[in-house]
C-alpha cells in the first residue's frame, strides 16, 4: 500500500506552487510500460512478438516503450502485476478475479485471447469413466483452474468434492507423481496432459472441451493505467492481432512462427499444433468481441466467482460471491457495484476489428 504524506507549507504561495508541480507530474503522460507473460500455448505469441520486432513496431507507432518479460513462474507474474511492478499480465479469468481483483487492484481484460478447449483434463489411471474418480485421491494444483475443472467434472455426474480427496501437487511435480503407484487421478494442463496420456493405462475422462468457454486466457492491464494511457491498450491490441494472424496462417511464415513458439515452450511444431488444436484461439478480433459481449461470459463468471467464494479466494472476510464487482461490456455489473475490480471491455478488440488502431 502506498502511503502519501501531505506536508503543509508555511505559506499559501508555497502550497500553491507545490500543488501545481504535483498536478503537472501526475498529468504527464506515461511513456514506459511493462508487460509480464508466462508459458502457455495461448500466450506464446507475446514472446514471439517481442523477439521479432512486432512489439517495437506498435510501441513506436504510439510513441511509447513496451517492455515484455517472460516469467517461468505463472503465479509470480501475477503477484508482480498485483504489486504494481507491471502494467499488464497474462492470466486466466479465474486467476484475474482471485488474485489482482480480489487483492484490490482494478483490472481490465484488454485482450480475450482464447479459451481452453481440451488443453485442461482429468486423467485416471486404469479407469475409464469420470464416475470412477469417486472415493479416491485427486492430485492437482489446489485452487487453480485444474481445481475448478474437477469441480465442474464432479457436477456433471451429480457429485461434489466431498466424494474425493484433493492432494495439492505443483505442476512441476505432477508428471512424476503420476508415475508412482499411489497416484491414480490427476487434473492438469498441457503440455503436461500430453505427457501423462502417453503413459500406459492413462485415460482422459473429462476435459475443458466439456465446459467450452469457461477457462479463458486473457491479457489484462491496470484499469487506471489504461484509462490514462489508451494508446497502451491500442498498441497491445495491434501487437496481439498481428501476431496471432501469423499463428493462424497456413503459410511458410505461419509455420515458422508456430515452430518458434513451440520451441520456446519446450516442444516442437507438431506438439504446439496439437495444443493449438485443443484451444479456441481468437485470431480474428470480431470473434473475440462477440465472445466477450455474449451473455454466456456473464454466466461463466458467475460460476467462477461462486467457486472462488466457496474456496475462500475472494478475500478474507468476503461475505458472499458478490464481494468483488465484475463489469461487462453492456454495462451489467455482477457483485458489489461499489467495489468493481474486474472489467471486461471490447473497446480495443473492436478497434482492431474495425481497422481503427
Q: Which of 308, 339, 333 is nearest to 321 (CA)?
A: 308
Find where cell 504535483 sits. 22
Q: How far apart are CA 42 and CA 356, in angstroms?
A: 24
- Are the C-beta atoms of residues 41 and 190 closer than 8 Å to each other? yes
Domain definitions of the chain by residue range:
29-115+215-353, 120-210
Q: What pTM does this model have?
A: 0.88
Q: What is the CATH T-level fold of the domain 29-115+215-353, as seen in this structure?
A: D-Maltodextrin-Binding Protein; domain 2 (3.40.190)
Q: What is the pLDDT of residues 251-290, one digit of tens each?
A: 999 999 999 999 999 899 999 999 999 999 999 999 999 9
Q: Which CATH number fits domain 120-210: 3.40.190.10, 1.20.120.420, 3.60.15.10, 3.30.565.10?
A: 3.40.190.10
Which pLDDT value is given to residue 25? 42
Q: For 311, phi and psi rounded to 5 degrees?
A: -90, 0
Tell me what pLDDT residue 322 has.
97
Q: How many CA atoms lie within 13 A of 184 on its CB side?
A: 14
Residue whose C-alpha is closest to residue 324's, from 101, 38, 125: 101
pLDDT tens digit at each of 357 positions of the chain: 222 222 222 223 333 433 443 444 445 679 999 999 999 999 999 999 999 999 999 999 999 999 999 998 888 999 999 999 999 999 999 999 999 999 999 999 999 999 999 999 999 999 999 999 999 999 999 998 999 999 999 999 999 999 999 999 988 899 999 999 999 999 998 889 989 999 999 999 999 999 999 999 999 999 999 999 999 999 999 999 999 999 999 999 999 999 999 999 989 999 999 999 999 999 999 999 999 999 999 999 999 999 999 999 998 889 999 999 999 999 999 999 999 999 999 999 999 999 999
d(CA 165, CA 134): 9
Task: List beta partners, residue 36.
Answer: 69, 89
Predicted local confidence at residue 134, as pLDDT: 96
The span from the CA of 349 to the CA of 305, in Å, is: 25
**Beta carbons of 46 and 90 less than 8 angstroms apart:** yes
Residues 38, 71: contact at Cβ < 8 Å?
Answer: yes
The residue with cell 468457454 is: 213
Intrachain domains 29-115+215-353 and 120-210 with the same fold: yes
The radius of gyration of the chain's CA atoms, rounded to the nearest angstrom, is 22
Residue in this structure with the C-alpha cell 485471447, named with its chain if needed: 113
- pLDDT for 28 equals 63
C-alpha 75/C-alpha 141 separation (Å) is: 12
Between the CA of residue 178 and those of 121, 140, 145, 169, 204, what are the distances in Å? Answer: 14, 11, 19, 10, 13
Amino acid at each position: 500500500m502506498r502511503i502519501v504524506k501531505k506536508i503543509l507549507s508555511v505559506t499559501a504561495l508555497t502550497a500553491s506552487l507545490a500543488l501545481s508541480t504535483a498536478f503537472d507530474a501526475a498529468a504527464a503522460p506515461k511513456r514506459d510500460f511493462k508487460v509480464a507473460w508466462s508459458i502457455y500455448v495461448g500466450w506464446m505469441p507475446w514472446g514471439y512478438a517481442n523477439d521479432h520486432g512486432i512489439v517495437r513496431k506498435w510501441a513506436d507507432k504510439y510513441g511509447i516503450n513496451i517492455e515484455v518479460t517472460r516469467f517461468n513462474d505463472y503465479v509470480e507474474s501475477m503477484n508482480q502485476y498485483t504489486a504494481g511492478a507491471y502494467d499488464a499480465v497474462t492470466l486466466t479469468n479465474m486467476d484475474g478475479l482471485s488474485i489482482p481483483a480480489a487483492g484490490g487492484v482494478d483490472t481490465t481484460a484488454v485482450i480475450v485471447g482464447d479459451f481452453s478447449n481440451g488443453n485442461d483434463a482429468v486423467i485416471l489411471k486404469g479407469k475409464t469413466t469420470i464416475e470412477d474418480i469417486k472415493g479416491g485421491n485427486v492430485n492437482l494444483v489446489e485452487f487453480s483452474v485444474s481445481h475448478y475443472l474437477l469441480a465442474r467434472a464432479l457436477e456433471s455426474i451429480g457429485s461434489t468434492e466431498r466424494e474425493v480427496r484433493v492432494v495439492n501437487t505443483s505442476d512441476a511435480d505432477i508428471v512424476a507423481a503420476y508415475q508412482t503407484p499411489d497416484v491414480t487421478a490427476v487434473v492438469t494442463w498441457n503440455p503436461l496432459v500430453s505427457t501423462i496420456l502417453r503413459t500406459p493405462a492413462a485415460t482422459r475422462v473429462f476435459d475443458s472441451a466439456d465446459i467450452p468457454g469457461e477457462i479463458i486466457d486473457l491479457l489484462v492491464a491496470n484499469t487506471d493505467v489504461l484509462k490514462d494511457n489508451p494508446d497502451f491498450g491500442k498498441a497491445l491490441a495491434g501487437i496481439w492481432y498481428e501476431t496471432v494472424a501469423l499463428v493462424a496462417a497456413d503459410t511458410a511464415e505461419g509455420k515458422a512462427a508456430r515452430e518458434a513458439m513451440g520451441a520456446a515452450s519446450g516442444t516442437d511444431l507438431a506438439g504446439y499444433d496439437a495444443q493449438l488444436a485443443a484451444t479456441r484461439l481468437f485470431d480474428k478480433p470480431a470473434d473475440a468481441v462477440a465472445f466477450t459481449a455474449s451473455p454466456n461470459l456473464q454466466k461463466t463468471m458467475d460460476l467462477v466467482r461462486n467457486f472462488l467464494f466457496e474456496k475462500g479466494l475472494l478475500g478474507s472476510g468476503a461475505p458472499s460471491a458478490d464481494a468483488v464487482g465484475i463489469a461487462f461490456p453492456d454495462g451489467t455489473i455482477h457483485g458489489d457495484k461499489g467495489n468493481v475490480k474486474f472489467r471486461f471491455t471490447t473497446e480495443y478488440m473492436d478497434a482492431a476489428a474495425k481497422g481503427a488502431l
